[in-house]
Amino acid sequence: MNQVQDLRTLPVFDEPYKNIKHPFTNYSLGEAIALAINNAKMFGKKSPASLREVRDYIADMMQRVDHQWLTGYAALDLLDAAIDGKDISKDHRLP
């Protein structure tokens, strides 16, 4: 995937993001990207512009919750797979 292109200009629910799914949940990489961008807009913060920035943004969101946030775990798993090539069928955060 092209890490340089500004994600804020992409339709995140279109190819290739909508077809990258978590193997254990009904959640896609496009939804993880939209989660970070929409949350940033809601709180008046700068929207993440790359997959790494999305991962950092969601990791920061995870630190602010005081419960097991399964959506956040799935999002980070998908982002790790997209950025670092991790095999989330073997290496994932979901309990």
Please check whether residue 1 lies inside any domain of the structure: no
Please check whether residue 89 lies inside any domain of the structure: no
Number of domains the chain contains: 1
Mean pLDDT of 69-89: 92
Instruction: Give the per-residue pLDDT at 4.
Output: 43
Mean pLDDT of 87-95: 88
Mean pLDDT of 72-83: 94
**Secondary structure (DSSP) of 21-67:** B-TTSS-BHHHHHHHHHHHHHHTTPPPP-SHHHHHHHHHHHHHH-SS
Which pTM value belongs to this model? 0.81
Please check whether residue 34 lies inside any domain of the structure: yes
The string of pLDDT tens digits covering residues 46-77 is 989 888 999 999 999 999 988 889 999 999 99
Query: What are the contacts of 20-25 at 24+ separation with CB within 8 A?
Result: 20/78, 20/81, 20/82, 21/78, 22/74, 22/77, 22/78, 22/88, 22/92, 23/88, 23/89, 23/92, 24/74, 24/92, 24/94, 25/70, 25/74, 25/94
* Residue 94 banded pLDDT, cuts 50, 70, 90: confident
Please check whether residue 56 lies inside any domain of the structure: yes
Instruction: Give the per-residue pLDDT at 71.
Output: 94
Please check whether residue 15 lies inside any domain of the structure: yes
Q: Provide, rounded to the nearest whole percent, the portion of the chain with pLDDT above 90.
A: 45
Please check whether residue 95 lies inside any domain of the structure: no
Range of the domain at 11: 7-84
Please check whether residue 94 lies inside any domain of the structure: no
